[in-house]
Structure 1
């Protein structure tokens, strides 16, 4: 979601991708990130470097064109220091804050490692010859300086020689910080200083993100004043309490300039004297992404003066930091409210979807029930029609009642119908028991006297009798599936009761 004043839809696809990468790395607001990317021609790498290292308050090209001719800064500083000016307060308020660059140490993959012992022994003679020749040429260059300039036209780099001859094994930033803390405790004993045991760049980024003060301490064991500064100033109880006070928001990072990372930091901060203490803070008055050096404390300093300088620098930058904190709090509150609104909208949308789903399911169930009821009704109608047609067809095939003259082949049966009507009829002795069931089923048709001679059997209809014939005393059910003739099942005569079977199923359905 875009911030106010920035329309992401007007950006191209590449610009939107660059903006997404930049905000993912820096966690900066979109309204501040877009102008910075525009000034960097939408180059993500340059924009990230400017974000962490800080960018000048004005265009370097325009500043160089409008700058006056160079003057002797040392002479000007001396004159201004000795001659009071009525506008000194205005100039001091407008003085530029020295920027604090973000120093990235040498990658761990490029840190030199010690060669195996076998290779060391193998190349020992060559290293000895190389060392002798190097010392010879160095001695010759000392005797004849022109030769030294001839063989090394670029001059000597004291910083490089200092690092390469220190004899300290290069490590990654985390291990370097841990080694410094361990050596510090071995030299000066246990202490309560909250050292940041990681890279300077991470401490720099953390201070910038959380709007904290980064206190950088750089020491050099070669200086005689280092031990006295640490014991008398840095390890004093009042300085330790001031640094550990949560209200001061101080991140303490320290390093030995004999290490590569600390040396790079000292070069970036233009340290010329040790021990060095620098307070780095975010400077929103210069740029929304800049970090500057609030104060420098060089050389041995009493604890009270050390704390006073830090407190004065912190008070100077307290108001801009409070404004940025308030702005971030407001932005966070706006973002939180927006997220809550989005969450409430999503919950409402989910509720509406669930309601619509239930309503749809209910409609589907209702339609299904109506369809099943209609199908059952149609099936019942078809069954009733087929049953009526089958009864007519079966009534036409029932044999007539035999005459009483042939009494030996006649079985006299008294039937009590479900409606309590009693019927007496004679059946042939060899008639199948199904003939008796068919007579009971088609009794109404036979009594009506309708013409059923032309009725055909319904196609695909399987008739099932919904009653059974029972002898009352003793009770015996004459089931149809047992088969047999009327004479075999009932005898010469019998009293039977017609019991309906569909009454039980009807009661269960009700």
Structure 2
């Protein structure tokens, strides 16, 4: 049995929990992790700090020595137990050690650059040269004494800090164009690279990371720094770093900037960068607020690829759980929203079908009512026509001329055969019009009724004959439209037939 197995068997539950948390963050073996945790008295935060930053003076020993001294009477410090048995409590403590990632004010892409008139530029050229010499001198002193820029950043007026942004000689561009220029320069210097930099401004990158619940990996480079090129080639573009960045399970977005540009310089000031090259991990921290973006990891100076991957993994691992909860909540909300939309869509479709059916029923009912009204109108018109026709027959029968007596020698004798087979035998005066013969045939039934009451012609009724008189041999049609008297058309006598007039034949003849 190995010593590591003996040590694991002797650990208490709290020590096992601390060891599991430490190994999850650092990926270190138990044989190396247990001694470091023992030196840190099983405090995971102190052990992680020693692992990443190196072991310096023991903070516990310094704390004990400070506790042996009498505390200042004017200070009321709040003590906190460094040991805890709850894994989630450790995570919450680590999450609280974050810095806010504020948004910055950027220049609009279409903002014009002010250029003074030529005369004023010539007048102030000596002052401009002196100012550039002073700035170059301060930059040289800043390289020789690194603490001077930090001191200047803390004490200088923000307006003066912003004025430094335009002394680099680079043309100020909008956020999107600045990001495109950084990517182009990065590709030109380091050729092809597999890092997917976001081609938009820093604020837009923050918004995208907050909206998509992803980690934003901010890379700030200073071309004036001697280690920038080697750090990019050996560390940032190392296969293990690139693989970790491009792994979709890590949910990393990458934004880069050159501090010679205005936007990247403001980002560096906002993140309080004191050493280049610099990288930071920014993520949404829901335990702070619903819109907070915080810096949960910093990588300053030259680091090996393994250290960069370890720090990135630590930042991602320690902040993955809150994001997963939000993702699950959003997924549930989206599922509920989709379910409601599907239900609403199904209800709208059912409602549309019901409306269409109701419309069809209304149209069918309206069509039926129109047909019934039209049929009732036709029936009423037909009944009225029949009444008017019967009244007209009575009236016309009373107005017919009487049959001439035997003393009339040139009377015309006409025999008319009805469709029923009955024959009408009657004499007419020679000058009697053909309409009189048609009226006699039409009103023959009324003429047979001797007791028919007297009546008058119906108002608004236009009588039309629905038959024509025809001579069979040879066939001759005696039409009313031809006019004339009976003697002129028939002669001294004749046998005629009554033929009903078909509407189709009338229509064909009219055409």
Q: Return the alpha-carbon distance in structure 2 between the equivalents of residues 246 and 344 of structure 1.
A: 37
Aligned to 1:124: 121
Q: Relative to structure 1, is the Cα distance of residues 269 and 132 closer, same or farther in structure 2, using a 3 angstrom cutoff?
A: closer
Deviation at 1:131, TM superposition (A): 3.0
Deviation at 1:294, TM superposition (A): 1.7
| Partner SS, residue 215 of structure 1 | strand
Aligned to 2:491: 491
Q: Return the alpha-carbon distance in structure 2 between the equivalents of residues 214 and 135 of structure 1.
A: 36
Deviation at 1:304, TM superposition (A): 1.5
Aligned to 1:457: 457
Q: Return the alpha-carbon distance in structure 1 between the equivalents of residues 386 and 251 of structure 2.
A: 93
| Partner SS, residue 88 of structure 1 | coil
What are the Cα deviations for residues 144-164 of structure 1, in whole angstroms up to 9, with x where unaligned?
xxxxxxxxxx95666335312
Q: Return the alpha-carbon distance in structure 1 between the equivalents of residues 448 and 204 of structure 2.
A: 109
Q: Relative to structure 1, is the Cα distance of residues 132 and 316 closer, same or farther in structure 2, using a 3 angstrom cutoff?
A: closer
Gaps of 5+ in 2: 1-55, 65-79, 139-154, 506-511
Q: Relative to structure 1, is the Cα distance of residues 199 and 267 closer, same or farther in structure 2, using a 3 angstrom cutoff?
A: same
Aligned to 2:268: 266
Match of 1:179 among 178, 181, 184: 181
Deviation at 1:401, TM superposition (A): 1.1
Q: Relative to structure 1, is the Cα distance of residues 321 and 264 closer, same or farther in structure 2, using a 3 angstrom cutoff?
A: same
- Are the equivalent residues in 1 in contact too, given 2:101–2:295 (CA < 8 A)? no
- Are the equivalent residues in 2 in contact too, given 1:203–1:214 (CA < 8 A)? yes
**TM-score, structure 2 as length reference:** 0.74
Aligned to 1:414: 415
Matched, 1:228 2:222: no
- Are the equivalent residues in 1 in contact too, given 2:109–2:173 (CA < 8 A)? no
Match of 1:383 among 382, 385, 402: 385
Q: Return the alpha-carbon distance in structure 2 between the equivalents of residues 405 and 338 of structure 1.
A: 106
Deviation at 1:426, TM superposition (A): 1.3
Counterparts of residues 54-133 of structure 1 (less than 5 Å): 80=59, 82-83=61-62, 87-90=81-84, 93=91, 94-95=93-94, 96-108=96-108, 111-113=111-113, 115=115, 120-131=117-128
Q: Relative to structure 1, is the Cα distance of residues 357 and 181 closer, same or farther in structure 2, using a 3 angstrom cutoff?
A: same
Q: Return the alpha-carbon distance in structure 2 between the equivalents of residues 416 and 347 of structure 1.
A: 71
- Are the equivalent residues in 1 in contact too, given 2:183–2:197 (CA < 8 A)? yes
Q: Return the alpha-carbon distance in structure 2 between the equivalents of residues 137 and 292 of structure 1.
A: 37
Q: CA RMSD for the aligned pairs?
A: 2.8
Deviation at 1:182, TM superposition (A): 1.1
Gaps of 5+ in 1: 1-76, 142-153, 506-510
- Are the equivalent residues in 2 in contact too, given 1:102–1:204 (CA < 8 A)? no
| Partner SS, residue 123 of structure 1 | helix
What are the Cα deviations for residues 437-463 of structure 1, in whole angstroms up to 9, with x where unaligned?
1000000011111345x3111111101
- Are the equivalent residues in 2 in contact too, given 1:219–1:274 (CA < 8 A)? yes
Deviation at 1:88, TM superposition (A): 2.8
Matched, 1:447 2:454: no
Aligned to 2:44: none
Aligned to 2:248: 246
| Partner SS, residue 288 of structure 2 | coil
Q: Relative to structure 1, is the Cα distance of residues 104 and 417 closer, same or farther in structure 2, using a 3 angstrom cutoff?
A: farther
Aligned to 2:480: 480
Q: Relative to structure 1, is the Cα distance of residues 97 and 391 closer, same or farther in structure 2, using a 3 angstrom cutoff?
A: farther
Deviation at 1:214, TM superposition (A): 0.6
| Structure label with greater radius of gyration | 2
| Partner SS, residue 100 of structure 2 | coil
Aligned to 1:308: 310
- Are the equivalent residues in 2 in contact too, given 1:180–1:255 (CA < 8 A)? yes
**TM-score, structure 1 as length reference:** 0.75
Aligned to 1:423: 424
What are the Cα deviations for residues 151-179 of structure 1, in whole angstroms up to 9, with x where unaligned?
xxx95666335312111110001110111
Q: Return the alpha-carbon distance in structure 2 between the equivalents of residues 319 and 134 of structure 1.
A: 52
The count of residues paired between Structure 1 and Structure 2 equals 411
Q: Return the alpha-carbon distance in structure 2 between the equivalents of residues 138 and 188 of structure 1.
A: 30
Q: Relative to structure 1, is the Cα distance of residues 284 and 345 closer, same or farther in structure 2, using a 3 angstrom cutoff?
A: same
Match of 1:191 among 193, 205, 209: 193
Deviation at 1:398, TM superposition (A): 0.7
